[in-house]
Amino acid sequence: MKKFPDGFLWGAATAAHQVEGHNNNDWTEWEKANAERLAKEAQNYWQPWQQEKFPEMFNPANYISGRACDHYNRYEEDFDLAKEMGHNAHRFSIEWSRIEPEEGKFNQDEIKHYQKVILALRERGMEPFVTLWHWTNPIWIQNIGGWQNKKTIDYFLRYVEKIANEYKYLVNFWMPLNEPGSFVGMAFIQGSFPPQKRNIFTANLVFKNLMNAYRKSYAVIKKITPRSEIGLSHYATYMEPYKNRIRNRIIVPVLDYIRNWRFLDTVNDYNDFIGIQYYHHDLVNLKFGKGRWGPIEVKSENLWTNDMGWEIYPEGIYHILKKAAVYKKPIYITENGTADANDEHRARFIREHLKYVAQAIEEGVDVHGYFHWSLLDNFEWDKGFWPRFGLVEIDYETLERKRRPSSYTYEKIIKSNAIEVND
């Protein structure tokens, strides 16, 4: 058995737009405009086995978040399940478009709503980790150009200030931004997320605006509640050179820096802790010719994959944690999970990743907590509802919740605060 440190935080993570239902933000509009297209494109995008297993990908309704899991109304029921699993922490996001649906007009009912959410967690002995922006913007922000417009930084700070003042006695852990790097990549480099503008200069501008917003949010929250802890939730991919070729060995550290560590380096003085979100392992191949990422081709050995075809590579979390340790900050794994509708792999996924987390801790990496992605099945952005990431399964017809078998594996680990290494 490998023990986790006393006081280790165990939980799961969600994001407002993916679970709450009935939001009205830039994504809601984008979904309506793009659902038909996404349903048509599924044919070219997914493998035959995926198309057969998840025929709902051809239905435009799959791409409309709608009532989602109705978590907005059912959060107590959901937190009861999390408590049953032994969670002592929970990460969720506050939806800016609910709090400030019109410029400068803060909605007191919504402020009360999230206060109730936080109190519901506290009543159940769960430490709230509050994300303030998980990729969605109010429509009035979209109308001024979103994060491409510098003014968005000031507007965001005003919202951050409001929230920090409202919940300063209730929240100890704040995460102003979720994965700014992935947002920039998906929206401005790959061009699949709204506002779908593929342009390297715009990408760089948005990146800088988000960095500034992060730094300034840190200062705003610190001033209001100096004892609270603030951190970035950061996406990190474990990269290795494909076939160990020399050109790939040269490019991997460069790419690793740009994708994994550049943002963290620039905001390092503004992090009380680091939130690591780990999903991917990439074998990087430098290939001349035009691909999705320019001359870079990403390969995967596909030895063990999930419903989305993503390679499952638990060892990667260990390498990422060892690298993140150089910042000498407490680390929380704020997301790690897999799309697995039949729950065939999730128990092993959790066990294997946690074995590597335990190993990193044993070697001195200061990991303080683990949040599985996700508590519930949810709306997986431009892929819609068919990818199932939940410890809890949602029947989207009846909204019935059902714990998946793997949630009992997770519960066992949590309740013993240890993992069996030969399991």
List of residues contacting ligand BGC (CB under 6 A): 15, 18, 178-179, 182, 235, 277, 335, 373, 380
Closest approach, Cβ 177 to ligand BGC, in A, equals 11
Closest approach, Cβ 8 to ligand BGC, in A, equals 22
Closest approach, Cβ 421 to ligand BGC, in A, equals 27
In the complex with ligand BGC, which residue's Cβ is closer, 25 or 182? 182
Closest approach, Cβ 183 to ligand BGC, in A, equals 9
CA–CA gap between residue 394 and residue 272 (Å, rounded): 35
Q: Are 1 and 361 in contact (CB under 8 A)?
A: no
Closest approach, Cβ 14 to ligand BGC, in A, equals 9
Residue 85 C-alpha from the chain's centroid:
21
Closest approach, Cβ 21 to ligand BGC, in A, equals 16
Closest approach, Cβ 242 to ligand BGC, in A, equals 23
In the complex with ligand BGC, which residue's Cβ is closer, 19 or 118? 19
The answer for residues whose C-beta is within 8 angstroms of residue 193's C-beta and 6 or more apart is 135, 183, 186, 187, 381, 382
In the complex with ligand BGC, which residue's Cβ is closer, 241 or 275? 275
Closest residue by Cα to residue 231 from 184, 278, 177, 181: 177
Q: Which residues of 343-355 are buried (b: 16+ CB within 10 A; e: fewer)?
A: bebbbbbbbbbbb
CA–CA gap between residue 149 and residue 41 (Å, rounded): 31
Q: Residue 402 has which token pair?
A: 């059902």
Amino acid letter, 110: E
In the complex with ligand BGC, which residue's Cβ is closer, 26 or 166? 26
CB-closest chain residue to ligand BGC? 15
CA–CA gap between residue 241 and residue 297 (Å, rounded): 11
In the complex with ligand BGC, which residue's Cβ is closer, 4 or 349? 349
CA distances from 363 to 161, 196, 332 (A): 39, 42, 16
In the complex with ligand BGC, which residue's Cβ is closer, 75 or 133? 133
DSSP 297: E
In the complex with ligand BGC, which residue's Cβ is closer, 159 or 183? 183
Q: Residue 350 has which token pair?
A: 């959790």
